[in-house]
Amino acid sequence: MVTTQSCGCSCTHENVAVPCCITEVKNVTPDIHTATSSITLANRFDHFLARWGVNRMGHTVTPGLYRLGNPDEDSPVFASANYTLSFDALRSALTGIDAYLLVLDTKGINVWCAAGKGTFGSAELVRSIECTDLAHVVRHRTIILPQLGAPGISWPEVMRRSGFRVEYGPVRANDLPQYLKTHTATPEMRRIEFTIADRIVLIPVELVHAALPAITGALILFFIAGSLAALAAIMAVLAGTVAFPVLLPFLPTRDFSSKGLILGMIVALPIAGAFVSNQTGPVWMNTAGACMAILIMPAVTAYLALNFTGCSTFTSRTGVKKEIFCYVPVMAVMAASGLVLGILLGLLGFLEVV
């Protein structure tokens, strides 16, 4: 007789040796995996690939319960996501600590993004607790979650449905050893930052995403308008994907789009200058090139900057929506007028030649 548990627990993971939903089978405990705190060369290579967006969804850990060191029934339990960067940050931070690690199935997504989507959520936490038979593995009823998992978790609901009390640890796994001394986090441990290192580490994946359209655009421009136009395209994209994350707090204004427009303009000016001072070709053609650079480049950089809101740690949906309504029309008008100008002048030049 198979009885499905109240949680609707489906237990499809291979890691669970026996289907936990068969409540009759009480004496058989699901498999507990083993984890260590050491980060191997292979782990580091995996992190590198994740940072470059290679096989984006493939950086996963098998969900389930892990034994770190030699935990007993009084050892703490930490929850994490089944994304290698999340899991590895946790296990390496807990060097020398005996603990259980409960890895939720977040489909290979980090804790914070998964919490935002609800996959690092109350339902999945309760399901994992039941499927791994955690209540019989440990004697206490406390589970320590990363603070950034909170947007997906309702502690009263978890308590009601699983009997486990949720304790929110610090934002960064690195602070866990310090946190565990008192089980209280300092205000610094509770605050998310967006330091230059945090921002630089995001650049590769931004570059990878923008690479194909940027190279295509640059090639097309190279053949119809020359090398300076191709350089302009590359510069606008590099400004939006590399310079913008680095310079984010130093650019004036608060909105990402206006910061992007300013940065794009700074990059466009030398290109426009190069067009104007170009000795070859008719003067009107070079002036047109300069105008196009000033119209199109800031629009491209600003659009990439606006899209960086999703990577940042502080933009609200209300604010981003305002930015979209306020600036996307401006970017569209700038880019479109630049393109129209280019096409018109191209036609004029063609007619004159004819």
According to the binding rule CB under 8 A, does residue 1 interact with other proteins? no
Q: How far, rounded to the nearest angstrom, does the alpha carbon of residue 266 sit from its chain's CA centroid?
A: 28
Q: Based on CB atoms, which residue is closest to other proteins, 204 or 349?
A: 204
- Choose which of 20, 68, 109, 271 interacts with other proteins (CB under 8 A): 109
Q: CA torsion sign, 159 to 163 to 168 to 172?
A: negative
**CB-side neighbour CA atoms (13 Å) of 91:** 26
Query: Residue 58, by phi and psi: left (phi above 0), alpha (psi -120 to 50) or beta?
Result: alpha
Q: Which of 16, 20, 126, 172 binds other proteins (CB under 8 A)?
A: 172
Is 27 among the residues that bind other proteins (CB under 8 A)?
no
Residues 269-328 within binding reach of other proteins (CB under 8 A) = 306-307, 309-324, 326, 328
89 sits near other proteins (criterion: CB under 8 A): yes
Answer yes or no: are the C-beta atoms of 144 and 170 closer than 8 Å.
Answer: no
Provide the residue type at 184 as one letter.
T
Query: Interface with other proteins includes 43 (CB under 8 A)?
Result: no
Distance, C-alpha 179 to centroid of its chain: 25
Contact 278, 290 (CB under 8 A): no
The SS3 of residue 132 is coil
- With binding defined as CB under 8 A, does residue 96 bind other proteins? no
Q: Segment contacting other proteins (CB under 8 A): 30-38, 111-119, 220-228, 336-344?
A: 111-119
Q: How far is the CB of 53 from other proteins (least distance, A)?
A: 7
* Identity of the residue, 80 or 286, whose beta carbon is nearer to other proteins in the bound complex: 80
Contact indicator for 274, 229 with CB cutoff of 8 Å: no
Considering only residues 203 to 232 of the shown chain, the ones binding other proteins according to CB under 8 A are 205-206, 209
Q: How far is the CB of 26 from other proteins (least distance, A)?
A: 32
When asked if residue 196 is in the footprint of other proteins (CB under 8 A), the reply is no
Residues 245-264 that bind other proteins (CB under 8 A): 253-256, 258
Min CB(76)–other proteins separation in Å? 13
- Which two tokens mark 105? 């199935």
Closer of 19 and 151 to other proteins (Cβ):
151
**Tokens at residue 68, please?**
């770190």
Number of residues that bind other proteins (CB under 8 A): 80
- Token pair in block for residue 346: 């191209």
**CA 142 from chain center: how many Å?**
29
Which residue from 156, 249, 273, 281 is in contact with other proteins, where contact means CB under 8 A?
156
Q: How far is the CB of 64 from other proteins (least distance, A)?
A: 17
Question: How far apart are the C-alpha atoms of 246 and 260, rounded to whole Å?
Answer: 12
Euclidean distance between CA atoms 118 and 104, whole angstroms: 12
Q: Taking CB under 8 A as the rule, does residue 180 contact other proteins? A: no
Kind of pairing between the strands at 99-104 and 64-68: antiparallel
For residue 69, state whether it binds other proteins (rule: CB under 8 A): no
242 binding other proteins? (CB under 8 A): no
Three-state DSSP string of 133-145: CHHHHCCCCEEEE
Nearer to other proteins among residue 64 and residue 149 (C-beta): 149
Q: Which of 64, 76, 169, 289 binds other proteins (CB under 8 A)?
A: 169
